Amino acid sequence: MAVAPESSESMTRLLIHVEGETEETFVNEVLASHLYGFGYTSVSARLIGNARQRDRRGGIRAWSAVRKDILNHLKEDAECLSTTMVDFYALPQTGEKAWPGRREAAQCAFAEKAASVENALLADICNEMGDDFEQRRFVSYVMMHEFEGLLFSDTSKLGSGIGRPDLSPMFQDIRDQFATPEEINDSPQTAPSKRIIKLLPSYEKPLMGTLAVLEIGLDSIRQECPLFRRWIERLEQWSQ
């Protein structure tokens, strides 16, 4: 894990709420070292809702549980920024686990899907924190459509990162069907992870997804994925 440089100024701390170990590794091993160059003194990932303790049914935790974690963090540390890094795909839409804005986003055009959820999350956090809350302290980010979409930013390195360079041309064929990797769609058959599994049934996200994203690196993802890039730019600007 990267270590922040020492600073005599007041601390600027960033906690990124993620839903899986691959995203946790990405934050700690790739993103943190980049953001330290923008004045942060602490950048760390937190698995939302004690993700390691989830039962085998899997799935992201209910928004009510995630919101509790975020609110506690914001209240306990007045100098921190909190943000999310969660997959749009499979976010609960209805029932007790529902995430704000997700059901409505299902009917939106691609360009509006992430914003529908992100704006609803921000509104909910601001409502819970009260009128005195500085809303820029919470940056909501929803990955389109899931983490594996980012891996299509460089299909050559995706193939080599998972030890299957022979699959890179087929990954590129998928990538060429969409304007950006973030637009690779989210049905149970065609979500990015499902497309990878179809070509490589032994794909294991915690291991292979981590190897791939470390191989691909931040710059390629940022260049190819405009929604991801917008999130990174917001984080860069917050600490200035």
pLDDT digits (tens, 9 = 90+) for 160-212: 999 999 999 999 999 999 999 999 987 888 999 999 999 999 999 889 999 99
What is the reported pLDDT for 48?
Answer: 84
pLDDT tens by residue, 25-84: 999 999 999 999 999 999 999 998 655 444 434 468 999 999 999 999 999 998 899 999
Please check whether residues 90 and 26 belong to one and the same domain: yes
**Are residues 39 and 12 in contact, defined by beta-carbon separation less than 8 angstroms?**
yes
Do 52 and 157 sit in the same domain of this protein? no
pLDDT at residue 6 is higher than 60:
no
Let me know whether 231 and 123 are in one domain. Answer: yes
What's the CA gap between 181 and 77, in Å, rounded? 35
pLDDT score for 225? 98
Residues 59 and 25 in one domain: yes
- The tokens describing 142, both together, are 């929803």
Same domain, 176 and 154: yes
Structure tokens at 223: 């260049």
Segments of the chain assigned E as strands: 13-18, 42-47, 80-87, 138-139, 142-143
Cα distances (angstroms) measured from residue 121 to each of 8, 91, 111, 186: 34, 12, 17, 21
Closest C-alpha among 71, 81, 68 to residue 14: 81
Give the span between the Cα atoms of 228 and 151, in whole angstroms: 12
**d(Cα 195, Cα 171) in Å, to the nearest integer?**
9
Residue 3: pLDDT band (50, 70, 90) is very low
Q: Are residues 129 and 18 in the same domain?
A: yes
* CATH of residue 25: 3.40.1400
Same domain, 50 and 108: yes
pLDDT exceeds 70 at position 5: no
Assess whether pLDDT exceeds 90 at residue 138.
yes
The number of folded domains in the chain is 2
Q: Which residue range forms the structural domain that includes residue 231?
A: 13-145+224-238
Residue with more model confidence, 90 or 45: 45
Could you tell me if residue 60 is inside a domain? yes
Residue by residue, DSSP assigns 80-140 as: EEEEEEEESTT---SSTTPPTTHHHHTTS-HHHHHHHHHHHHHHHHHHHH-TT--GGGEE-
Q: Which residue has the higher pLDDT, 187 or 228?
A: 228
